[in-house]
Structure 1
Amino acid sequence: MSSAETANAAAPDARTERRAKRIAKNLTSFAQQHGGRADAVVEYVGAVATRIVVVGADGAWGDQVAPSYAVGRRAAELAGLTLHDDFEGELALKVKTGPYEWKRMAGIQLGG
């Protein structure tokens, strides 16, 4: 394979890039609103969706759904997020939850 072919194989296609850029705007905005930087994990949700879980420098967290893993990963890269392989340990400890999350989690556990 020539170097041009290798570069094209590694580069995202135009559709993936367009979708990723749209999502990256939201991710960048979130990071700016929550301390200027953010960490993320890109997770498969199913055959047709991927979830990007984002944790801001201030501990706020949110998520964004992407149509594919490639789009989600590329969006996180374009937004300059620090990517993690999984949502464990140090990253999980950064998350700050509030009354809404605790109430919602309790409601789910109690069947409400």
Structure 2
Amino acid sequence: MSVNDNQITYLKYKEYGDLLKVILYSSQSVLGAVPLVYHVNANGQNVIFIQTGAIGGNVIHYLTSNGPPTKKFIELKRLTGDYTFVEKIGTDGMSLYIPILELEKSNLKFP
């Protein structure tokens, strides 16, 4: 299945905290699905993004950063929305540990 730009909505965020609120909200839904975080270098920019949606089109939530992520996971506190970058999954049962997946290439066309 090819990516059709007409079926993709791009939402750009200013900072990680706002992007991670999407994950926090998704994790509290009935399905409890937690989107993955991806990093790719696209057109010389470090792009951090998550993908949500299915039927009727996809939504790409993204931000650009000065450099690639320095850690492999994001620890996201469920109750407060506070986050830190960590090297491995921890033991805090009230946190989500979200892997940051490094993509070599993507066919998404970030605006």
- TM-score normalised by the shorter chain: which range applies? 0.3 to 0.5
TM-score normalized by the length of structure 2: 0.39
Q: Which has the higher strand share?
A: 2
Q: Which has the higher helix share?
A: 1
The structure that has the greater radius of gyration is 1
